[in-house]
Amino acid sequence: MRRLRLLTGGESHGPRLTAVLEGLPAGLALDRAAIDDWLRRRQHGFGRGGRQRIERDCVVVSGGLRDGRSLGSPLVLEIANLDWENWSEVMDPWRVDPEAAAKRAVTRPRPGHADYSGGAATDQLADLRNVLERSSARETAARVAAGAVCAQLLARYGIGLRAAVLRVGAHEVVAGPPSWEGLAAVRADSPLVTPRPDDEERLVAAVRAAREAGETLGGVVGAVVRGVPPGLGSYVHWDRKLDGRIAQALLSIPSVKAAAIGAGLEVVALVGSEAHDPYVLADGRLARSSNHAGGLEGGVTNGADLAVRAFFKPISTLRRGLPSVDLGSGEPGATAWERSDVTAIGAAPVIVEAMLALVLADALLEKLGGDAVADTDRAWQALAERLAPWWQPNR
Ligand code: EPS
């Protein structure tokens, strides 16, 4: 069974981030500009901190590609950290200087971050930088580069993704689950990547107010995948159910505390006859008159739009600081702040798209296989024929 695997490496202020994507069939043509465009989207968003003025994220491929086509070997994607230049001494991989290290050690864990929990896990409580460098959301740049590649595989089969911010802090823009049409209106220059331009001013003002108060904000991202064939995932095995795999991928995004598929939490308030999506005929095809299930039934895609939401907590580095305890001196003290995002919610839609693209490309290859992409194409054709007349590809 062909599976996709993604491994990322690198620290926030190290020389670079690396993504190793293994399992792509050979012969897949990739578009570099499209990967860089996804990376640009991840740097976007009103309320980001000073770091995004330093970085110019773009992809360097150092393995697995030749003449613009995948070789079937691990695809190695790298993104330089331009800020490394300012951190090369602190982050030097080989320099051993215990005195200097003790002087600049980070010892007050930020509530909400992995500082204490990660330090406890790896016996690195003496200097929390050893944890925070890796737990920083900067790592999502590597995921986005790999996700952009996965999206190009999906696009080959007419599968497309859209995502947008549905809520910033207490300010709701779109209630309930997202729809494909509802996400269409997001302009590339939208400061908070929302589908409702009229709400933008209100949201920008909320972020400004949070910045002035030294506060941070979370929010909700909605995403829809269109053109997914029915039958991806498994109803047989708990660890292969696609809703579970999607939830894991979404909850692995830094700051995400909840994930919903389709109507999610709202479905509990409905009675059965309202909750379940009736089968109807539309132009001779099987369709649904609602999509509370969000495109997944029994852990398997059902051919409807796959609709998810991810719920982000506010960033845990606050200018005003938060109560903490200095693990060196044992004294209470506020957390430190140098710079941080007021909200990173504007970056979140493309990160959600990347994780969805990764899970769906994995599920698609699990279904279709193919050492060469031409083999994958033939398997896709055969699948589309088997699924006709109830379902047709989206192209
Ligand atoms: C990020 C870079 C980081 C943070 C942010 C994500 O830059 P720095 O720490 O140098 O300011 O701005 O990480 C967090 C919000 C976090 O809590 O870790 C990026 O490139 O996305």
CB atoms within 10 A of CB 305: 21
Q: Which atom of ligand 1 is nearest to the CA of 55?
A: 20
CA nearest neighbour of 38 among 164, 149, 160: 149
Note the pLDDT of residue 395: 60
Backbone torsion region of residue 210, taken as left when φ is above 0, otherwise alpha when ψ lies between -120 and 50, otherwise beta: alpha
Residue with the two structure tokens 């933008």: 200
Walking along the chain (395 residues) 10 residues at a time, the average pLDDT comes out as: 96 98 98 98 96 97 98 98 97 95 96 98 98 98 98 98 98 96 92 95 97 98 98 98 98 98 97 98 91 98 97 97 97 94 98 98 98 98 96 83
Of all protein residues, the one whose alpha carbon is nearest to atom 5 of ligand 1 is: 137
Per-position b or e across 250-283, b if 16+ CB within 10 A of its CB: beebbbbeebbbbbbeebeeeeeeebebeeeeee
Question: Are the C-beta atoms of residues 198 and 256 closer than 8 Å to each other?
Answer: no
302/297 Cα distance (integer angstroms):
6
Q: What is the DSSP letter of 166?
A: E
* Bridge partner list, 220: 167, 311
Asked, for residue 395, whether it belongs to a domain, the answer is no
Asked, for residue 383, whether it belongs to a domain, the answer is yes
C-alpha 152 to ligand 1 mean position (Å): 27
How much of the chain exceeds pLDDT 90, in percent? 96
C-alpha 388 to ligand 1 mean position (Å): 47
Residue range(s) defining the domain that contains residue 253: 5-387
Asked, for residue 394, whether it belongs to a domain, the answer is no
CATH code of the domain covering residue 192: 3.60.150.10
Question: Are the C-beta atoms of residues 225 and 161 closer than 8 Å to each other?
Answer: yes
Give the containing element (helix H, strand E) for 75.
strand 75-80
Asked, for residue 265, whether it belongs to a domain, the answer is yes
- What domain count does the chain have? 1
Q: For residue 76, count CB atoms less than 10 angstroms from its CB and return exposed for 0-12, middle for 13-18, buried for 19 or more.
A: middle
**3-class DSSP assignment, residue 87:** helix
Q: Which atom of ligand 1 is nearest to the CA of 13?
A: 10
C-alpha 81 to ligand 1 mean position (Å): 12
CA nearest neighbour of 278 among 289, 270, 268: 289
Ligand 1 pocket by Cβ (under 6 Å)? 12, 49, 51, 83, 136-138, 141, 315-317, 339-341, 344
Note the pLDDT of residue 389: 87
Of all protein residues, the one whose alpha carbon is nearest to atom 4 of ligand 1 is: 340
Give the containing element (helix H, strand E) for 349.
helix 348-368
376/101 Cα distance (integer angstroms):
52
Note the pLDDT of residue 304: 96
Question: What are the φ/ψ torsions at residue 26 (nearest 5 degrees)?
Answer: -75, 150
Question: What are the φ/ψ torsions at residue 282 (nearest 5 degrees)?
Answer: -130, 115
Note the pLDDT of residue 239: 97
